[in-house]
Amino acid sequence: MQRIFNFSAGPSTLPTDVLIEAQAELVNYKGLGLSIMEDSHRSKAYDAIHHEAMDNLRALLNLSTEYEVLFLTGGATGQFAMVPLNLLGPGQTADYTNSGAWAAKAIKEAQVIGKVNVIANCGKEIPTRVPRMEELTFTPDAAYVHITSNETISGAQWPSFPETKAPLVADMSSDILSRPIDVSPFGLIYAGAQKNLGPAGVTVVILRKDLAERVPDSVPLFYRYKTHMEANSLYNTPPCFPIYMLALVTRWLRAQGGVEAMAAVNRRKADKLYEAIDASEFYQGTALPEFRSTMNVTFRLPSEELEARFVKEAAQQGMSGLKGHRSVGGIRASIYNAMPEAGVDALINFMQAFAKDNG
C-alpha cells in the first residue's frame, strides 16, 4: 500500500516502522493470545510497556531524579486547568505569556482558577511571533511562569527559553523531543501526544517532584499531580494503547540517534522548506523569520482561491493536511519528527510547479 505524506498538525503522521510493528502485535501481543488493548493494566506485559515508555522519555530528555514522568489524560487542554489547580495557591499570581491561540486558551482557563498576570502579549500580531526576552516583566514572587513553546496554529516558536526565578511551565505539545533542551529550568512540562509522541489519548507531564506538594487541600484527589505521582500513573486505568504506542515511538526515536540527531534532521527539513517559500514571491511566510517554527511551517498564497486549489491539488498528489487552521486560513505544513525528508522534498517540488502554473 502506498502511504501519503500527512502534513496534518495533529493527530499527525507516525513513523511507518512503528505502525508496522503495532500492526504485527495488534491481535496477539508477544504470543499472549490477546491484544495489549485487552490486557490488564496490572499485567506484567503492560507493566513492561509502561516503564519502557517512562524510561525512554527519561533518557531522551536526560531527566534527573528530581523529575517524575506522568501519563495522564485530557490532552494539553486538561493541563490548562490542572497546572493552576496544583501550582497556583490562594493569594498568589501566575505569570503567562500570550503568543497565540493555545497560550490564550491556557490563560483563559487559569483565570477561572486564580490570579493571572499576562506579562507579554503578541498573540494577535501579524506576522506572528513569540515574546522577546526584553518584553518580559515578571511578577515578584510569581507562583510560576507559563509559556507555549511552539504555537501550532501560527507557526511561531520560542528559539530559546526565558530565565525565571519562578518555576518555568511549558506547553510543549507540538515540539517536545524535536530539539535538545535543558530541563533543569523547568518546573513542569506537558504535552499532548498527538504531534511528536504518538496517537491522541495520553498526555505526558514532566514534573519536578517538589512542586507536587503545593496542591491545595481543596483540589479533588484525581486532579492532583501528587496522586498520580504516588500511584505511578496507575491511579485509574491509564490509556494503555496510546502509552504502548508512545513506548514504540520513543524506542524508534532512540534508534534514530535520539533528540540531537532528530534536531539536525528537523532543522534541515525546515530550512529547505522556508528557503523555498522565501525564494518565490508567490508564497509569503506568516511568522517572523527569527521565530519561525521547525514543526509547523505556515504561509499564504496570493488569494484564498489559490490556497484552496493548492490544498486540493496537493492532496491529489499524495500530500494531505496542508490546509491552515480554520481560524487563520492559509497553508500549514506540519513536519514533525516522523515526517520523512522525502515528504518535504515532495512538497517543495509541488510548490515550485504550482507557482509556475499559477503565478
User: Are 242 and 128 contained in the same domain?
Assistant: yes
pLDDT in tens, 63-75: 999 999 999 999 9
Q: Per-residue pLDDT for 203 more than 70?
A: yes
Whole-number pLDDT of residue 76: 98
User: Are 281 and 327 contained in the same domain?
Assistant: yes
Position 88 confidence tier, pLDDT thresholds 50, 70, 90: very high
Round to whole Å and give the CA distance between 354 and 278. Answer: 15
- Alpha helix positions (H), 256-340: 258-278, 304-316
Position 173 in a domain: yes
Instruction: Identify the DSSP state of 289.
Output: G
Judge if the upstream peptide bond of residue 127 is cis by omega within 30 degrees of 0. yes
Residue where one domain finishes, among candidates 240, 255, 270: 255
Round to whole Å and give the CA distance between 179 and 356. Answer: 35
Cell 519561525, located at residue: 292
pLDDT in tens, 109-143: 999 999 999 999 999 999 999 999 999 999 999 99
Residue where one domain finishes, among candidates 196, 222, 255: 255
pTM to 2 decimal places: 0.97
User: Are 94 and 136 contained in the same domain?
Assistant: yes
Catalytic site positions: 102, 171, 195
Number of domains in the chain: 2
pLDDT in tens, 328-350: 999 999 999 999 999 999 999 99
Residue 316 maps to which CATH number? 3.90.1150.10
User: Are 124 and 247 contained in the same domain?
Assistant: yes
Residue where one domain finishes, among candidates 196, 230, 255: 255
Q: Per-residue pLDDT for 1 more than 70?
A: no
User: Are 205 and 57 contained in the same domain?
Assistant: yes
Helix axes 341-358, 258-278, angle to 10 degrees: 10
User: Are 250 and 265 contained in the same domain?
Assistant: no
Task: Find the mean pLDDT for residues 5-18.
Answer: 97
User: Are 210 and 82 contained in the same domain?
Assistant: yes
CB 87 within 8 A of CB 214: yes
Position 276 in a domain: yes
Average confidence score pLDDT of the chain: 97
Q: Which domain holds residue 179?
A: 18-255
Round to whole Å and give the CA distance between 152 and 328. Answer: 12
